[in-house]
Amino acid sequence: MELEGKVALVTGAGSGIGRATALLLAKEGARVGVLSHTEDEIREAAEEIRRAGGEAIPLVADIADENQMKKAVADLVEAYGRLDIVFANAGINGVWAPIDDLQPAEWDRTVNTNLRGTYLTLHCTVPHLKRANGGSIVVTASINGTRTFTSAGATAYSATKAAQVAMVQMLAVELAKHRIRVNVVCPGRIDTEITENTDKRNTGEAEVAAEYPDGNIPLTGGESGTSEEVAQLVLFLATDRSRHITGTPVWIDGGQSLLV
């Protein structure tokens, strides 16, 4: 129970990495605000935590909407009295298409969700971490835009992921005096539904030939990582075991991003 007495916010907690992490943080004693824009999904996640003996409050909000995020964070702090851990995980792959095909509205949606959403999550939560005299922020980025640049048509997505790493490193310095640590996880292929939810269009125009005869994830022979494995990394970064780590991107991809 490493996190007993702590309060955590997990965005994108309705499925995948977010849900696995919310469950694990609660198992370790944290009271968790589980946030998603999908009400049914997030209520199910909160109920799953409660059935396992943990404490959770469902929070429904669009991370790119300032007023919704302010209310969600206020509701969490009102319920549990404090905030110590923030996992800014919510995001989308958006549309992957050649740059001359990708439409401005499609670009804006990806940037607003991934980058503005991360900004608003931190903008609304950092004052509470300061009042708690410290805490841990973890952001979900990706191997795309940080080590890998061959995902055809993923320019908007990759740009937001690279920007998240820069944001984390800037804030690690800015917030250090408040004893707030800020780190970023960069998953490779993980067994979530985000790939299936990616809208790909004419990506052949943007593709670069690459061949991986032994599979493109060396550590597992091509098998995807799991949401639970990413959750274990987030747990480490949320606890005092990582108390001297800040401003650090951690790639969790089984060596996938080292192939190209």
Catalytic residues: 157
Q: How far is CA 101 from the centre of its chain?
A: 28
Return the sign of the alpha-carbon dihedral for residues 195, 197, 199, 202: positive
Under DSSP, the state recorded for 224 is P
Q: For residues 254 and 225, is the Cβ–Cβ distance under 8 A?
A: yes
Crossing angle (nearest 10°) for helices 104-111 and 155-175: 30
> Strand 31-36 to strand 85-88: parallel, antiparallel, or no bridges (unpaired)?
unpaired
Residue recorded with tokens 């790939």: 195
- Look at residue 96 and give its three-state secondary structure: strand
Tokens encoding 37: 């824009």
List CB contacts of 51: < 8 A, sequence separation 6 or more: none
- Host H or E run for residue 100: none
- Nearest to residue 11, comparing CAs of 30, 34, 31? 34
Order of strands across the sheet with 55-60? 55-60, 31-36, 7-11, 85-88, 135-140, 180-187, 249-252
